[in-house]
Structure 1
């Protein structure tokens, strides 16, 4: 008989095993509730100091036990209707708990399972006949070859365009994320989890969700996680989702990171709008990308901007923007406090939800 005890196994589950569900002590209609503990923002005189938050445990607690220093919210949502998902299985945003859980939208009557090693929260999850092809730049990263090579040479080439390297980029992002230390971080377009793993191991966040549309990138991320025992019990979850249809409730996420991703998105405006929707008040968005330059776009100058709008994307499968365009995009999606750091074609920018 399967035990009713909920345990976070230190051994990651192997893919392709059948899911095991236990009968929840609460009603099956109870929503997944995530408690994010965040310290109060430092007063202006202390903002120059480095802050470090201790990761808080992910728990499911009765509404009557809400504490003043906790914020309870419905996190995972149906990608179709955005209603909260019900959950059957052990609680927690860690790999073993997610793997052994089933998720369902009662309104759409659609079920989502942790297929392979990730939770598939795309609209097409579970389809058997329907197939949909994305733009070339999206399909490229779904390739198992590219997924395997991403951290084995592919990412290192970014240095030629001014990217300072993963370690320095991580430190820069951590500075931007100081105001939301201790909260929930989602690493969108995470690829093979290069930064997801760094954020999870930092202990600065109560939980980290590594999110990508590529199935093979998420599988590669899982392989890297298995090689690091320190990640086996950390609140780190793998979720497959569309950046333009994020499966989270509005105002539910503290921090969102997008490393070298914006130029790959089919519709950056839809993606940033979704990011703005799911960020809670005070939440921080940090991203890196390649700026439009003569090296990657022949119409990059302001004088040739009209030509770039008509012909630029025909000559390149990626979306490259000027810094002014990126700032304008963030503002148009309701984000404030835009700031950036530029080095040749590299840009890291940050914006905040009011």
Structure 2
């Protein structure tokens, strides 16, 4: 550093306790100082650091780590991220995530970021009910968009494009925000939400590692730009890895009937939604075909005893879904029904 530059920086440092305005600093380091233009620039930077000795440290921290929307699934504290910013696949792959409170680290070395409680464990692997484990199968993950999902139209599901547009209509009030597609499967709707450009970020979230890998394969096949704001996250629907009141929109397509505890899951969804945030889901209504005699009102109490043994899935009446949403604090319940298909929505007050 030139002697004149050191002198200018020292001069500003002596005034730091008085917090002089930037204009005064500029005049002191202006043309009258006799410094060359490059030297003046160095002097201004040095003076800024002298005025705020923490500025350089803050700048370095912002380059390497930042608090994201992600939270620790153990204690719900925000995760500290070290690596390139952004909610796209390459940025997350190159980043490290750690909870500053419980000191747990989470890996993003796979094509997805693993934010389950069991992430990083070597010996213990948690098993879920059969209806959940089924979708962790590589075969089911492969077949899901290759015939499995198309069979839903027999129950009244209108199809991917129409279901997407119906959900978009519900999400109009939160356009531009962060959307999480929970139990996303192979990303059937996650990819459409991301490609729509209607959201600042889209997070495709599922418990199945193979479903997320299949989603990644579809992204590559469809030549979706890898820097699209789409992230793949492995997480438990009953332990969502997001800070409270941090998410604008949550979508769950044909999923709630597979969840081990729908009440816990919707309570979690309510927790992470921002005030005004919107939850939209589709599922199969309870019918004699999928629920047998348990679809009859008088026999519903027996479903608590026999149902879990008799069926791999939970099916609901519309009244039960509305009651479930309201019990978890969601308001403005709305629904659209077509045979045994239902799309319903609730809002965080």
The residue aligned with 2:155 is: 161
Q: Name the CA distance, whole Å, in 2 between partners of 1:143 and 1:328.
A: 33
TM-score by length of 1: 0.80
Q: Partners of 2:82 and 2:175 in 1: how far apart?
A: 30
1:81 maps to: 75
Distance 2:272 2:98 in 1: 20
Contact 1:79 1:245 in 2 (8 A): yes
Q: Secondary structure at the match of 2:85?
A: coil
2:83 is the alignment partner of 1:101: no
Is the CA contact 1:30–1:86 (under 8 Å) kept in the aligned structure 2? no
Out of 326, 342, 352, which is 2:337 matched to? 342
| Match 2:210 to one of 213, 216, 219 | 216
Moved over 4 A (4+): 28-31
* Partner of residue 273, structure 2: 279
CA RMSD, Structure 1 to Structure 2 (Å): 1.7
Contact 2:65 / 2:83 at 8 angstroms: preserved in 1? no
Displacement, 1:304? 2.0
Structure 1: how far apart are the matches of 2:325 and 2:117? Answer: 26
Structure 1 SS opposite 2:102: coil
Gaps of 5+ in 1: 1-22, 34-73
What is the aligned partner in structure 2 of residue 262 from structure 1? 256
Q: Is the 8 A contact 1:212 1:240 kept in 2?
A: yes
C-alpha separation between the residues in 2 aligned to 1:345 and 1:258?
A: 17
5+ long unaligned stretches in structure 2: 1-56
Give 1:296-335 correspondences, 5 Å limit. Answer: 296-298=290-292, 299-335=294-330
Asked if 1:27 corresponds to 2:61, the answer is: yes
How much has 1:25 moved relative to structure 2?
Answer: 4.9
Q: What secondary structure sits across from 2:288 in the alignment?
A: coil
Per-residue CA deviation, residues 115-159 of structure 1 (Å, 9 max, x unaligned), is 310000000000001122111011100000000000000000101
For the 8 Å contact 2:66–2:82, the answer to whether it is kept is no
Return the alpha-carbon distance in structure 1 between the equivalents of residues 146 and 317 of structure 2. Answer: 29
Instruction: Check the 8 A contact 2:177/2:248 in 1, yes or no.
Output: yes
Q: Secondary structure at the match of 2:189?
A: helix
Within 2, Cα distance between the matches of 1:141 and 1:221? 13
Cα deviation 1:224-275 (Å, max 9, x = unaligned): 0011223322100000000000000000000000000000000000000000
Alpha-carbon deviation of 1:106? 1.3
Matches within 5 A, 1:1-354: 25-27=59-61, 32-33=66-67, 74-298=68-292, 299-354=294-349
Q: Which moved more, 1:324-333 or 1:131-140?
A: 131-140
- Give the match for residue 4 of structure 1: none
CA contact (8 A) 2:157 2:338 kept: yes
Taking structure 2 as the reference length, what is the TM-score of the superposition?
0.81
Partner-residue secondary structure (3-state), 1:86: strand
Task: Say if 1:276 and 1:335, in contact at 8 Å, map to a contact too.
Answer: yes
Task: Provide the rounded CA distance (Å) in 2 between the counterparts of 1:177 and 1:114.
Answer: 29
Pair member with larger Rg: 2
The structure carrying a bigger helix percent of its residues is 2
1:269-325 deviations in Å (ceiling 9; x for gaps): 000000000000000000000111101011102222222233223210111111100
Q: How far apart, in 2, do the equivalents of 1:282 and 1:96 lie?
A: 31
The number of aligned residues is 292
Q: Which has the higher contact order (CA 8 A, sep 6+)?
A: 1
